[in-house]
Structure 1
Amino acid sequence: MSDGDAGRAVEFVGPERVEVVPTEAPVPGPDEVVVDATVSAVSAGSELLAYRGELDPETVADEELPALDGDLSYPLRYGYAVVGSVTAVGDAIDPAWRGRTVFAFNPHETRFAAAPDALRPVPDGIDPETATLFANAETAVTLTLDAAPRIGERVAVFGEGVVGLLTTALLARSGAETVVAVEPKDRRRSLASEFGADAVVDPSRYGG
């Protein structure tokens, strides 16, 4: 894309209604850059709730993230795991930013402007698809730090989705004596073992 190109965005317009809408060409302010998205990950959790109309429309999407500072009412542009390349920089930005691959907590759109401190440079050797997991990894790190497992303790992770698997991997490296993964799906239990779980449990075998 050239610097003057417009783009497109995914917009939730009502329960079970999603549209791809045109957006104006982003123009970076003096302290901003423009990012062309390469890949944007879809959350099977919060975005599914948005699709179904199960989010509180008066709730602020995320007070900590400039790109998600509105509420959750329709029409809603949502998403928070975009990886792309910096294609334009503002007058006050180091030109070295141009061409960098970055992660952004940003809704699904092909092009957007952002301040550099809202972006995370992607290290060399990490492909864009893998880099979209940064948001999930951040959550897993927070959970692990909050749990504060001690050396020799036994810990259990209930649910081995993306965040659960990443949390399992971190706990397996934390010094815990035993990490137990509790998950009803065979494939996820297998992955939990690969990610470092010492034992896996199928809760459906125990009723309830």
Structure 2
Amino acid sequence: MRAFVITAPGRAAVQEVPEPQAAPGVVVVEVERAGVCGTDSEFYSGGMAYLASGDAAYPIRIGHEWSGRVVEVGDGVDEAWLGRRVTGDTMLGCRACHRCATGRQHLCADRYEIGIRHGWPGALAERLPVPATALVPLPDTVDATLGALVEPGGSALRSVTGAAVSDGARVLVIGAGTIGLLVALIARAHGAQVHVLGRSQRSRDFAAGLGLEHVTTVETLDRTTPFDAVVDASNDAGSPALAARLVEPGGRVVLVGISDTPSRIDTRDLLLQDVTAVGVLSASGGLQGTVDLYASGRVDPRPLVAATVGLDEVADVLADGRPAGAGAGPKVHVDPRL
């Protein structure tokens, strides 16, 4: 089958690779859509932290935001999965340690991460092996595009949950990329008054076009009233400290973005204001809730997808090339069948 393979920083190609086999407990999914995200770009540039730590190595097959259809099941897997449309968890724990046993497989020290960690192949390929335990079924109302937005949506939903958003709460989202916009849309669906701080004019215009009423810059941000919760979904090293300064005493700061360099917070801004800080690593635990939100129509993130390309165009996208005719959204999807 065809798969997109990164062989070194800045070097990648579509290659013919062996088709995955349905090992015991594993299914094979025919991929319909896969999202390209910042982690994928870091693997392409060589800046991804797992490359330095030894948790990942070239060659690597990326892609962890996906949807597709189960076409083969291994021994021990319920055959009812055959033909079902699915997405799934990126984090694949060992299922034997204390963390896995207590529902925290995304923190398992020995975990695989699809398309990211310890060599588990990713979804930028025609077919993908996935443990049946990681599958999340998709209803007919959640199409392939929405299905491939469940994984980033799960991280956003966990961020909104971590922010303890309630009806009427003032929530500031720092960052108007895919995750930040998903946080904003989900928080709005939970009844919050959402403010989005965007870096570029283009991202701010796009956020406003989604019907988000309070879109701002650092300079124009209304700081007269602290925010009940602040979610940092940016990659700016200074944003966590800014979040801690802007949150209401007793409020919550959620950190879902990550910078290339260390970010520093004066802990006095947390301690002396009794602020709760929450870190969000992955979508684990938020996938089914995201499917339900999309299926209900309360959140429709499809406008975030600017273009859908084939495998042959992925290298250009990772090199920061925007496909011809792409819309204004921050996300590019891949259809391996093209």
* TM-score, normalization by structure 1: 0.79
Runs of 4+ off more than 4 Å:
none
Q: Residue 148 in 1 paired to residue 164 in 2? A: yes
* Aligned-partner SS, 1:41: strand
Q: Which amino acid in structure 2 is aligned with residue 12 of structure 1?
A: I
Unmatched tracts of structure 1, length 5 or more: 1-6, 61-70
Match of 2:4 in 1: 10
* Aligned with residue 158 of structure 1, among 174, 187, 197: 174
Match of 2:58 in 1: 74
Quote how far apart the aligned CAs of 1:113 are. 2.5
Q: Residue 92 in 1 paired to residue 76 in 2? A: yes
Q: Which amino acid in structure 2 is aligned with residue 100 of structure 1?
A: R
Quote how far apart the aligned CAs of 1:151 are. 4.6
Q: Residue 139 in 1 paired to residue 155 in 2? A: yes
Q: CA RMSD in A?
A: 2.3
Match of 1:29 in 2: 23
Unmatched tracts of structure 2, length 5 or more: 91-113, 115-121, 222-338
Q: Which amino acid in structure 1 is aligned with residue 158 of structure 2?
A: T
Match of 1:4 in 2: none
Quote how far apart the aligned CAs of 1:150 are. 4.4
* Aligned with residue 123 of structure 1, among 131, 139, 149: 139
Quote how far apart the aligned CAs of 1:32 are. 2.3
Contact 1:47 1:79 (8 Å CA) reproduced:
yes
Match of 1:47 in 2: 40
Q: Residue 184 in 1 paired to residue 199 in 2? A: yes
* TM-score, normalization by structure 2: 0.51
Separation in structure 2 between the aligned mates of residue 137 and residue 190 of structure 1, nearest angstrom: 21
Quote how far apart the aligned CAs of 1:114 are. 2.2
Contact 1:168 1:196 (8 Å CA) reproduced:
no
Q: When the two structures are aligned, how many residues end up with a matched partner?
A: 188
Contact 1:168 1:195 (8 Å CA) reproduced:
no
Contact 2:35 2:63 (8 Å CA) reproduced:
yes
Separation in structure 2 between the aligned mates of residue 204 and residue 74 of structure 1, nearest angstrom: 42
Q: Residue 170 in 1 paired to residue 164 in 2? A: no
What is the CA deviation profile of residues 75-95 of structure 1, one whole-angstrom value per residue up to 9, with x for unaligned ones?
122220121111122343322
* Aligned with residue 87 of structure 2, among 84, 91, 103: 103
Identity %: 31
Contact 1:169 1:196 (8 Å CA) reproduced:
no
